[in-house]
Structure 1
Amino acid sequence: MVWECGIDDCSEVFADVESAVVHQATEHERLECKVCGTIVPDGYLAIRHAFSEHTRAEYVRSYGANAEDVREREELMDEIEDEADIKAIASELKR
């Protein structure tokens, strides 16, 4: 499977999901979470933060999202977590 960055107009492609997530976290600007104000990496890690630290209702209210937006992000998060070695990503980001 090939993984594409997907942030803004970035179309970088990666052979593994771990490289894609590390790219998102290191090559793109960090964002401020609209729910709590925490600064988080863009992409998967921002989605993971929003859905693990906040309720879906908080996400919908703060981001002006709808049910389809939530489903799309949950599906993406599940797909990444089914494939990714999260410990390898964390280790790479600690460098």
Structure 2
Amino acid sequence: MAWECGIEGCNEVFADAESAVLHQSTEHERRECKVCGAIVPDGYLAIRHAFSEHSRAEYVRAYGANAEDVREREELLDEIETEADIKAIASELKR
């Protein structure tokens, strides 16, 4: 299965989820969380931050999201966390 970066304007494709997440974390600008102001990597890690650190209601209010937006992001999180070795990603990012 090929993994697309998914960040607007980026057309990079990767052989595995880990490579896609590492690319998002290192090759794209970091973003400010609209809920708490934390600076986080764009892409998967930004979504993971928003959904693990904040309530869905906070996310909806801060980002102007709707139920479909939340479902899409939850599905993406599930898909990546099913496929990717999150510990390997964290280890690589600590370097």
TM-score interval w.r.t. the shorter chain? over 0.9
- Residue 93 of structure 1 is matched in structure 2 by 93
Matches of 2:3 and 2:34, distance apart in 1 = 27
Identity %: 86
Q: Deviations over 1:33-88 (max 9, x none)?
A: 00000000000000000000000000000000000000000000000000010010
Structure 1: gaps spanning 5 or more residues:
none
- The DSSP-based 3-state class of the residue aligned with 1:18 is helix
3-state SS of the aligned residue for 1:48?
helix
Q: Residue 47 in 1 paired to residue 41 in 2?
A: no
Q: 2-side partners of 1:16 and 1:62: how far apart? A: 31
Where does 1:1-95 land on structure 2 (aligned, <5 Å)?
1-95=1-95
List, as ranges, runs of 4+ consecutive aligned residues in structure 1 with deviation greater than 3 Å: none
Gaps of 5+ in 2: none
Partners of 1:78 and 1:6 in 2: how far apart?
15
The CA distance in 1 between the partners of 2:7 and 2:73, in whole Å, is 13
Letter in 2 for 1:36: C
1:3-39: CA deviation from partner (whole Å, max 9, x where unpaired): 0001011010100100000000000000000000000
- Alignment RMSD, CA only? 0.4
Number of equivalenced pairs: 95
Q: Distance in 1 between matches of 2:14 and 2:65?
A: 28
- For residues 11 and 88 of structure 2, the distance between their equivalents in structure 1, rounded to whole angstroms, comes to 23
User: What TM-score, normalized by structure 1, do the two folds share?
Assistant: 0.99
